[in-house]
């Protein structure tokens, strides 16, 4: 099977290539790309049997890359560092995926699935399943936040957490910016996609992908920016279930 790897991180490409070369009898890596734009031309020209594709890249998302392709008769294996980001949507369509850093056992499972697809020559069907699943995820990428008489269109990955301020709410962004919203936290909760956001306390909603640690004894969550957010006792079990 002729394979192309697309990932903006060289280290991730090297790690995946190392694991795939253990299956040299079945897998042949014909090219790797760190630039999604270059990958589009490469895939259209080289016509691979399978593409290992990173979802989140600064130049464009994996979904956008698939959308721009002319050649689509290949299997897609999603690679992502975001456990919750798209896996629920992907699992619904029986699509292959790998969590970074890649694990040898996971690679072996994916290889076995690819062998079955290869035997059936149904690459275009698997591509369609992948594209449809990712399109559903992509629809939830933007949230509309009303601020000071206008509506801001904010990418969900920019939001760290939200905090209640009485009849208002404050939205804290990855950049360090704070937005005052003229809505109660309950109203804001209804706007934010439940797939990514969880109300952990009467005063706080967190982006679950921004949580690095759960300090069980202290009753706090630690976010990626080191901010500690309290989690109510009656929310802890539901939060852990949501985190998988």
The domain boundary residue, chosen from 106, 139, 172: 139
Do 70 and 133 share a structural domain? yes
Do 229 and 212 touch, CB atoms closer than 8 A?
A: no
Are 154 and 172 in the same domain? yes
The total of structural domains in the chain comes to 2
What are 35's two structure tokens?
């630039």
The residue out of 117, 139, 161 marking a domain boundary is 139
Provide the CATH number for the domain around residue 177. Answer: 2.40.50.1020
* Crossing angle of the two packed helices 10-20 and 104-120, in degrees rounded to 10: 70
Nearest alpha-carbon partner for 34 in 67, 59, 15: 59
Same domain, 57 and 150: no
* 46 and 125 share one domain: yes
The residue range of the domain holding 32 is 2-139
Q: Same domain, yes or no, for 120 and 178?
A: no
Task: Identify whether residues 100 and 171 lie together within a single domain.
Answer: no
Task: Give tens-digit pLDDT for 82-104.
Answer: 655 556 556 555 467 787 778 88
Task: State mean pLDDT over 129-153.
Answer: 75
Residues 10 and 92 in one domain: yes
Give the helix ranges, DSSP H, for 47-86. Answer: 62-68
pLDDT confidence bin for 135, thresholds 50/70/90: low
Mean pLDDT calculated for residue range 27-55: 94
User: What is the sign of the dihedral through the CA atoms of 44, 45, 47 and 50?
Assistant: negative
Chain-wide mean pLDDT for the chain?
Answer: 86
List, in sequence order, every beta strand (DSSP E) within the chain: 2-6, 28-33, 50-54, 75-80, 96-99, 142-147, 150-155, 159-165, 168-173, 178-181, 197-201, 204-207, 211-215, 220-223, 228-230
Q: Are residues 160 and 236 in the same domain?
A: yes
- pLDDT score at 236: 92
Residue at a domain's end among 139, 162, 197: 139
Look up the pTM and report it.
0.59
Is the per-residue pLDDT at 208 higher than 90?
Answer: no
Distance CA 147, CA 152 (A): 7
- Specify the pLDDT at position 119: 62
Alpha-carbon distance of 159 to 137, in angstroms, equals 17
Q: Which alpha helices (H) appear in 21-152, and where do they start and end? A: 36-46, 62-68, 87-91, 104-120, 123-139
């Amino acid at each position: 099977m002729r394979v192309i790897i697309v990932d903006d991180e060289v280290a991730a490409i090297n790690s995946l290539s190392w694991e795939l070369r253990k299956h040299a009898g079945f897998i042949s890596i014909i090219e790797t790309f760190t630039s999604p734009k270059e990958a589009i031309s490469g895939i259209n020209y080289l016509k691979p049997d399978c593409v290992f594709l990173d979802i989140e890249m600064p130049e464009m998302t994996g979904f956008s890359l698939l959308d721009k392709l002319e050649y689509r008769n290949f299997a897609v294996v999603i690679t992502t560092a975001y456990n919750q980001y798209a896996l629920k949507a992907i699992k619904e369509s029986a699509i292959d995926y790998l969590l970074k850093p890649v694990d040898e056992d996971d690679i072996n499972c994916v290889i076995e699935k690819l062998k079955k697809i290869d035997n059936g020559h149904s690459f275009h069907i698997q591509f369609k399943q992948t594209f449809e699943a990712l399109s559903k995820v992509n629809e939830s990428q933007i949230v509309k936040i009303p601020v000071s008489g206008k509506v801001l269109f904010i990418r969900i990955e920019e939001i760290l957490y939200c905090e209640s301020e009485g009849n208002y709410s404050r939205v804290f962004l990855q950049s360090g910016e704070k937005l005052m919203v003229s809505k109660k936290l309950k109203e804001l909760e209804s706007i934010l996609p439940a797939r990514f956001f969880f109300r952990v306390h009467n005063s706080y909603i967190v982006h679950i992908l921004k949580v690095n640690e759960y300090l069980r004894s202290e009753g706090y969550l630690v976010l990626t920016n080191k901010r500690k957010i309290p989690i109510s006792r009656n929310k802890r079990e539901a939060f852990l279930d949501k985190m998988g």
